[in-house]
Amino acid sequence: MDTLGIFRDIDSAAAAVDGLVRAGFAEAQITSLTSVPYPDGVLVRSEQRTRFRWLALAGGLAGAAAGFVLAAGTAWLYPVQTGDKPIIALYPTAIVCFEIAMLFAIIGTMAGMFLEMRLPALKKRAYDPAIAEGFIGICLTIHRGGEAVECRPGEERQDCIGEIVSLSAVEQKERAEEIMLAAGAMRVIGEETP
Amino acid sequence: MSEDLSHTSRTGQTSLTDQAPKSATRINDELLSSLRPPTLRWYLLAFFLGAVVAWGMAAFTWQLTHGMYVTGKNRPVMWGFYITGFVFWVGLSHSGTMVSSILRLSQANWRRPILRAAEAMTVFCITVAGLFPLIHLGRNWIFFYMIPYPNQRGLWPNFRSPLLWDMTAITAYIIGSSLFLYLGLLPDLAVARDRSSGWRQKVYAVLAMGWRGTAREWSVYHKASTLMAALIIPVAVSVHSIVAWDFAVTVVPGWHSTIFPPYFVIGAILSGVAAVITLMIIIRKAFHLEEYLTPLHFDNMGKLLLVISLLWSYAYFVEVQTVWYAHEPIEWEVFSFMSGRYTTQLLIMLLGNSALPIAAMCFKRLRRSIGVMLVVSLLVNVGMFIERFLIIVPSLSHKNMPFAWGSYSPSWVEISVNLAALAGFALLFTIFAKFFPIVAISDVRELEARRTGVPLGRVRVPSVAGEE
Amino acid sequence: MEKLTSPYKWGMVIDLDRCTGCGACVVACQAENNVGICEKQEISEGRDMHWLRIERFWVGEYPDVRVRFLPVMCQHCHDAPCEPVCPVYASYHNPDGLNGQVYNRCVGTRYCGNNCPYAVRVFNFYPHEWPKPLDNQLSPDITVRSRGVMEKCSFCIQRIRRAKEEAKVEEREVRDGEVQPACAQTCPAEAMVFGNLADPRSRVARLARSPRRFQLLEHLGTHPSVYYLKGGGREHV
C-alpha cells in the first residue's frame, strides 16, 4: 500500500521524512516524488549503484559481433573481387563493427535504464499532478505484518522493513498520515497496491 | 487541469542579482507556452514551409521521371549540389551532439536552456541529410539494393565501399540521437502529461512511460544521461569521419588527404555551433524566452564559436599550405582552378568561417549582442556550405587527365531540392516545438531549485547546490 | 572461398606512332556496343557517351606544330580504384582480368565515375533512344542501358564470351588474334592489338615487353591492362 503526501516546499517534506523515520519506518520504504532532481540525502537516501551499464556493455559486444557478421560475414558469403582489396578487409570491417557496436550500446543503455527504473509502469501507482508544478511528494510503502518483502541484495532486513511493521497496515497508514499532516502536508493520498 | 493551488515563493533574500527565483508554475507556464493550440501565424509559417518542401518534391519528381540530365552534373563532375547538401546537413547534425553532450559532461550550468533545441536539431538535420544519398541516385527506385538483407538473388551490398559505411553510420546516428533526444525529453513529457487533457494527455502519458520522478528514477536517469552523452560523442565523430572518407579514400587529387576526417569534424562542429546560435535567436524571439536565453548564454556560445573557428582556420591553413609547399602539379592545379574560377565564393567562405567569427567573437560586447550573433552565425553556415561545395566540385573538375576536365553549375532542380531540405528541417522543427517543450524544463527548474544566495563577507553571493 | 583463376588475362597495346587520330575506333565502339547517340546539346553539357575517346594534344608553336593522339578507353586496371567504391558490387574484377560492369545492378551513385582517374566511365544522364529504323542497328548480344546506369568500355566482352564459348565447344583455348574488340578490328593503321597477356607468346604480350612501352598515370599504381608504345624508347606523350 502506498501513501503519498504532497508538500509545498523542501523543508516541510524533509521534516515529514524525519518524522516517519523516527516513527519506525525504514528509509528504504520512503521515496520522494519530485519534478527536479535533488542531491542524494536532501530528501531521501536511495541506492546509488546502478546495473544498467552491464546491459549497455552487453549491447556493445553484441553489436560488435553483429557488425562483424554484416561486414565480414556477408563478404565471405558472396566473395566478389574488387580492386586490390581483400575479400574480408580490415578497415571496413572495423568501421562497421564500431558503428553497430555503438548503436547497440546506446540501445542497451536505454533499455537497461527503463528496466532498472521498472518503467513503463504496468500497475497504477501513487502520483499527483501537482508534483509537476513544483510540489514535493513523499511516498511511503506500507508493508503488512508477515508480508514477504523484496530487499535489495546486500541490504539488512532492518534497513528494508521498519519496526513499525508490528502494527497493522491500517494503523501504519494512519500514523503515517498523522506525521505527514503534522509536518505540513497539503494533502495525503492513499493508493491500494494489490 | 491543474487545481488552483497557491504556491510559495522564497522571499526576503537580497542577492547580488537581486532577483527572486521564479516559481515552478511560472517557469512551467512560460516554457510550455509554445504547446498552446496553434495560432494563425503558426499555420501560415507551416504552410509556407510546406509549400517550399512540396516545390522541392516536385522538382525531385521531375528528376525522377526525366533523368539526371535535369541536374548540372556531367562527366567528370558527377557529384554536385546533392552531395554538397548531404555533407552540409551531416555537419549541421553535429550541433546537438557536441553542444549538448560536451556541455552535459562538463556540467556547465549555462547549457540548460540550450540542450533541447540542440538535440532536436541533431535529429532533424541527420534525417534531412539521410535523404540526400537517396535523391542523388541515378536509379532511385532500386535503392534497396544497398540494404543488406537476405534475398533470393543471393546478393549482399559491398561493405568495402565508403557509401555503405555512410549508411551504417547514419542509421546508427539517427537512432542514437533520437534516443538521446527522447531521453532528455522524458521528465518534460511527464510535466506535459500532468498539464494537458484529452488526446494530448494520452499521448504524453504513453511517451512518458509512467515517469513519476522518484529518487531512484532520477538517480538512474542521471547516470544514464551521462553514459548516453559519453556514447553519442564517438558516434558523432565517426559519422562525420566516415562522410569525410567518402572523399579521402579516393584517388581524386585534392580529395586524397589524411586531414579530411578531422577537418570535416571540425567543420561540422563549427557549422553546428553556429546553427545552434541561430536557432537560439529564433526561438528566443518566437517563444518569448528572453529571460531564459540571456546574453550570458550567447556570450558563452560566442566563445565556443571563437575556439572552433580558430581550429577550422588552422585546419584549412594547414591543408592549403602543404599543397602549396609540395606543389605537386595536379594538386596545385586543383587549388588554383578553385581559387581562379570560384574566387568570390572562396572569399565569402574565408570571411564567414574565419575572419568574421574570429574578429567579432573576441569582443564581449559583440558576443552579447543578438544582432551581431545572428549575422555571424548565419554567415558561418553560408561559408560552410560554400566550403563543402569547394571541396567537392573543383577536385572533380580537374582530375588527372586534362583532356577530360570540366566544370559544373547547379540547376534549378538541385537548388530547389536543397532549399526544400532547409524548409523541411524548419518545418520538422516547427512541428516539434508545437508538441514538445523547446527548452528543457526540468533542467532549467533544477537550476532554480538549487540556486541560492550565500552570505559571504559583505554581500550575498549566488551559489548552486551541486552533487559532489 | 576458392581463388578463381583463368588462363586469360586480356590486355591491349596501342602504338601511338601508328595512330592517325582518324576516330574509326570510336565509331566502331559505338556501333558494336549499343552506345547511346548524343545530341549536340548533350555533348556541349559534357555528357557525351564515348566509351573510347581520342585525346588530342598540340605540341610546339607555329610553324613547328605537331599533334599527338591518345586513344583512351577503360584501362581495365588490376587494382582498379572504381571497383571497391561501388556499394552494390556493380563494378567488379572478373577472373579474366577485366573490370566488369553489371548494368542491371547499378543504382547510379556515380562513385565509380568519380574515382576513375582516367575519367573513362560514362553515365547515362539522358535516356537514349533509337528511333526506328535505327533500332535495327542494336546488337542483341549486349544490353541496352537505361538512364541512371554507369557504363564503360568492356573490351567487347560479348565478343570474348562468344570466342570462349566456341573454343569450349571445340575443347581448346581461345587462339591469339581470334577475338578482337571492335576498335582493334576497325583501326586502319593496326595501331591497336588485343590479346591474352598471360600467354607470353601472344602478339600483345610480346609488344607489351617492348622498351617503347608506357602506361597512363603509372604513379597511381592502378596497374592498367593497356600499354602504349611511343617513340625510340624514352619519349612519352
Residue pLDDT, tens place only, B263-312: 999 999 999 999 999 999 998 998 888 888 889 889 999 999 999 999 99
Q: What is the mean pLDDT of residues C106-118?
A: 96
In a domain, C171, yes or no: yes
pTM of the model: 0.92
In a domain, C94, yes or no: yes
CB neighbours (10 Å) of residue B196?
17
pLDDT at C110 over 80: yes
> Which of A186-190, B141-145, C170-174 shows the lowest mean pLDDT across its residues?
A186-190
pLDDT digits (tens, 9 = 90+) for A45-72: 888 888 999 999 999 999 999 999 999 9
- Cα–Cα dist B383/C196, whole Å: 53
CB B355 within 8 A of CB B375: no
List, edge to edge, every strand of the sheet that includes A30-33.
A30-33, A136-141, A2-7, A185-191
Residues A96 and A139 in one domain: no
Domain end residue (candidates: A117, A148, A173): A117
Residues A56 and A40 in one domain: no
CB distance from B161 to chain C under 8 Å? yes
In a domain, C140, yes or no: yes
pLDDT at C204 over 60: yes
Q: What is the CA angle C228-C141-C24, rounded to 5?
A: 40
DSSP secondary structure, B165-227, as one string: HHHHHHHHHHHHHHHHHHHHHHHHHHHHHHH--HHHHHHHHHHHTT---BHHHHHHHHHHHHH
| Chain C residue nearest residue B250, CA to CA | C115
Query: pLDDT grade, residue C53 (50/70/90)?
Result: very high
- Cα–Cα dist B366/B350, whole Å: 20
Q: Which residue has better confidence, B20 or C146?
A: C146
| Chain B residue nearest residue A11, CA to CA | B10
Domain end residue (candidates: A90, A117, A144): A117
pLDDT at B190 over 50: yes
pLDDT at residue B40, rounded to an integer: 92
- Cα–Cα dist B179/B169, whole Å: 15
In a domain, C2, yes or no: no
Element of type H or E holding B450: helix B441-450
CB distance from B396 to chain C under 8 Å? yes
Give whole-number Cα distances, A135 to B41, B214, B221, C139, in Å. Answer: 35, 13, 20, 82
pLDDT at B384 over 90: yes
Which residue range(s) make up the domain with C71?
Answer: 10-229
Pairing of strands B459-464, B451-456: antiparallel
Residues 56-85 of A with CB under 8 A from C: 76, 78-85
Q: What is the mean pLDDT of residues C206-235?
A: 89
pLDDT digits (tens, 9 = 90+) for B149-160: 998 888 899 999
CB neighbours (10 Å) of residue C189?
13
- Nearest-Cα distance to chain A for B188, in Å, is 9
pLDDT at A32 over 60: yes
Which residue range(s) make up the domain with A170?
Answer: 2-46+122-191
In a domain, C1, yes or no: no
Q: What's the CATH number where C202 sits?
A: 3.30.70.20
Reported in sequence order, the residue ranges of B204-312 that DSSP labels E, i.e. its strands, are: none
Helix (H, G, I), strand (E, B) or coil at C31: helix
Query: pLDDT grade, residue C44 (50/70/90)?
Result: very high
Residue of A34, A45, A125, A155 for testing the chain B interface, max B β-carbons within 10 Å = A34
Residue B362: phi and psi, rounded to 5, are: -80, -15
- Cα–Cα dist B435/A110, whole Å: 23
> Which of A89-93, B33-37, B285-289, B395-399 shows the lowest mean pLDDT across its residues?
B33-37
pLDDT at B234 over 90: yes
Domain count across chain A: 2
CB B53 within 8 A of CB B423: yes
pLDDT at residue B18, rounded to an integer: 41
Domain count across chain C: 1
- Nearest-Cα distance to chain B for A37, in Å, is 6
pLDDT at B21 over 70: no
**Residue B456 pairs with which residues in a beta bridge?**
B459
CB C119 within 8 A of CB C81: no
**Which three cell numbers, joined as nine digits, stand for B355?**
575572419
- Nearest-Cα distance to chain C for B361, in Å, is 39
pLDDT at C95 over 70: yes
DSSP secondary structure, B38-68, as one string: P-HHHHHHHHHHHHHHHHHHHHHHHHHHH-G
pLDDT at residue B96, rounded to an integer: 79
Q: From 1.10.3720.10, 1.20.1270.10, 1.20.1630.10, 3.40.30.120, which CATH number describes the B24-446 domain? A: 1.20.1630.10
Q: Which of the 8 DSSP states describes residue B144?
A: G
Q: Percentage of chain B surpassing pLDDT 70?
A: 95
Q: Which residue has better confidence, B10 or B285?
A: B285
Q: What is the mean pLDDT of residues B208-217?
A: 91
Query: pLDDT grade, residue B30 (50/70/90)?
Result: confident
Q: What is the mean pLDDT of residues C157-163?
A: 96
In a domain, C15, yes or no: yes
| Chain C residue nearest residue B146, CA to CA | C88
Q: At what angle do helices B81-92 and B260-286 cross, to 10 degrees?
A: 70
Amino acid identity of residue A40, one-letter, is D
B446 → closest Cβ in A32, A37, A119? A37
Residues 80-99 of C with CB under 8 A from A: 80-84, 86, 89, 91-95
CB distance from B243 to chain C under 8 Å? no
- Cα–Cα dist B204/B189, whole Å: 6
